[in-house]
Amino acid sequence: MIISQIDSHLAELRPSEQRVARFVLGRPTVVVEMSIADLAERADVSEPTIMRFCKAIGCMGFMDFKLSLARDLERRTLSMSRQNPHVKGHSGLGQALFEQVTKTLGQKGTGLALDELETLLEICAGSGRIIVLHSGAETLFADTLVLALRGCGLEVCDQTTADISGRRDSILVIALKSSVRIPQVEQNLQDVCAQGGRVALIGHSGLPATLSLGQFDTGLSDYIAYAAVIEAIRLGIEARLSKSGHFSQADSEMLQSQRENAYADARRRDRQSAQKANSDDTTFYEDAR
């Protein structure tokens, strides 16, 4: 399937092609409706880069890529529909999907090391610096986590490389499940742990770490559980900071306002990016890199 193929070849792509791949992985249902000019504009690359990206993942061109992506998305929808035979047509599919996710979400929770969440909250609340490490394939989750942690007043860095420098004893690295594909990530995380830093894994348990919240797969309920864990982290850190006297209940309203402003800024930047015209300067700048 094309989405899995993009995910597995991400590290082999050129930097500009990786930007396209990350955008596609983060918004596949949006990309399938885009023109090549729209995608180039949103990913901040040139149209020739889009064509190179398509060929790098085994497609003949942009239209072939879009058809493959559409088939992939349809295949996933049909798979969920077969698991819910009572669904007739797309009108009832949404409700059936929601019911299935609700039913299995509790089961996912039993397989996670939620007892480790208490330790993670303590570490987050006391960390001088937090790095959210991911390969770029989980942009939506990474952005959500970064905004949530910053909304709590914490210093957070969003990073897609394993080059982690600075004071190790003040660093907490939260590695999302896709971080396993980052070159040299295992050695770098091992160095962080050895020098007094702390590493928390979300969704993956095969890397050096202080603690792990368990393993996530690629199913819909896994993604929902993933998002639920991130929201639990946000709520837990706010509660920890409030109890420790770092901020009062009155400050919670200010933090909520800060989060809303952060989301509004993100949406505004997204709109500005969407309105940005694709010019020859973009091609020149990209080729110069």
The reported pLDDT for the residue numbered 224 is 73
The residue-averaged pLDDT of 163-178 equals 69
H/E element, 201: strand 198-203
* Residue 2 contacts residue 31 (beta carbons within 8 Å): no
Which range, of 155-159, 192-196, 255-259, averages the lowest pLDDT?
255-259
* Residue 91 clears pLDDT 60, i.e. is over it: no
Q: ∠57-11-230 over CA atoms, to 5°?
A: 110
Return d(Cα 231, Cα 103) in angstroms, integer: 19
The reported pLDDT for the residue numbered 87 is 47
The reported pLDDT for the residue numbered 106 is 62
pLDDT in tens, 194-208: 888 888 888 777 788
* Residue 32 contacts residue 73 (beta carbons within 8 Å): yes
The reported pLDDT for the residue numbered 21 is 92
Cα of first residue to Cα of last residue in the chain, in angstroms, is: 31
Dihedrals phi, psi of 284, to nearest 5 degrees: -65, -45
The secondary structure of residue 152, as a DSSP letter, is T
Structural domains present in the chain: 2-80 (1.10.10.10), 114-247 (3.40.50.10490)
The reported pLDDT for the residue numbered 242 is 67
* Residue 233 contacts residue 225 (beta carbons within 8 Å): no
* Residue 1 contacts residue 74 (beta carbons within 8 Å): no
The residue-averaged pLDDT of 19-39 equals 87
pLDDT in tens, 65-89: 888 888 887 776 545 444 555 444 4
The reported pLDDT for the residue numbered 260 is 59
Q: What is the DSSP string of 137-189?
A: TTHHHHHHHHHHHHHTT--EEEESSS---S-GGGEEEEEEGGGGGSTTHHHHH
The reported pLDDT for the residue numbered 103 is 65
Burial state string for 4-28 with b = 16 or more CB within 10 A and e = fewer than 16: eebbeebeebeebbbbbbbbbbbeb
pLDDT band at 128 (very low <50, low <70, confident <90, very high): confident
Round the average pLDDT of the chain to a whole number and report it: 74
Q: Tokens standing for 75?
A: 């295949």
The reported pLDDT for the residue numbered 184 is 83
